[in-house]
Amino acid sequence: MRVLVIGAAGSIGTVVCAGLVDRGHEVIGLDMAAEPEGFTGPWFTVDCADPDAVAAVFDRLESSGGLDAVVHLASIPHEASLPTILESHVHTTGALLDAMVEHQVSRIVFASSNHAVGRTPRADLVPADAPPRPDTSYGVGKVAAEAVLRLYADRYGIDAVATRIGSFLPQPETRRQLSTWLSHDDAVRMVEACLTTPDPGFAQIFGISANTRAWWDLAPGRALGYEPQDDAEAYAAQVEATPEAESDRVEAAHVGGPFVTEEFYRPALDRG
């Protein structure tokens, strides 16, 4: 497949780009940052919140063979004011979807977040169709972007998969992450499955590895062909070598972990 990866210079983007190339896909990178050393495909340094700039990229790619799919990994990865979050998560998604419709690109994989349901209390396994319960403006941005994806799936027949990613790290570092970890290799497996599964329509899945202590249901991802191979339990002894702290208990109360705490409370709008 010929795939445009948005946010290709980011922590997830660099891993996914390399993994997709290793699996035989042609990868085109787009980011606000300059092309990283070692990237082997075409590169565009563009703000994907700028619809004209995004349209120009799609025009150029159409003249050189077109695209099969878009992987949207770009966004502010932390809490911010609501307008900033909406531009980062929702405006970028809208700009990409408009360009996809215009250029007849029919599939997008979107990096959503577990924080779309972060205020869900920890109890039973959380299903992928759990109602939105964001824990921050960041989580609100992911919920809103998912709604835009659903709109374009219904209106234009776009295949759109929202991956509610857990804790993307080389290895888990906290007790919560023994449940929420997504390994680098499984991230690539997940994105490739979302790119290649037949006719997903609109789908939401949780982006975690095959963790023994998983908090989220992996069945919807497996239905799309995502078969995670790693398990955070391999690191459990190392993580649990230190006594359980109060922060561990707080993080275990809701699936969003620390994002539900007062540390992340802020007004929706910044005032001068």
Residue-level pLDDT at 163:
98
Residue-level pLDDT at 178:
97
Residue-level pLDDT at 40:
87
Residue-level pLDDT at 272:
67
Question: What does the alpha-carbon distance between residue 48 and residue 74 come to, in Å, rounded to a whole number?
Answer: 8
Q: What string of pLDDT tens digits covers the 272 residues of the chain?
A: 999 999 999 999 999 999 999 999 999 999 999 998 889 899 999 999 999 999 999 999 999 989 999 999 998 989 999 999 999 999 999 999 999 999 999 999 999 999 999 999 998 889 888 899 999 999 999 999 999 999 999 999 999 999 999 999 999 999 999 999 999 999 999 999 999 999 999 999 999 999 999 999 999 999 999 999 999 999 999 999 988 888 888 888 999 999 999 999 999 998 76
Contact 166, 214 (CB under 8 A): no
The pTM (predicted TM-score) of the whole model is: 0.96
- Residue 125 has φ and ψ, to the nearest 5°, of -60, 130
Question: What does the alpha-carbon distance between residue 188 and residue 6 come to, in Å, rounded to a whole number?
Answer: 15
Active-site annotation, residues: 138
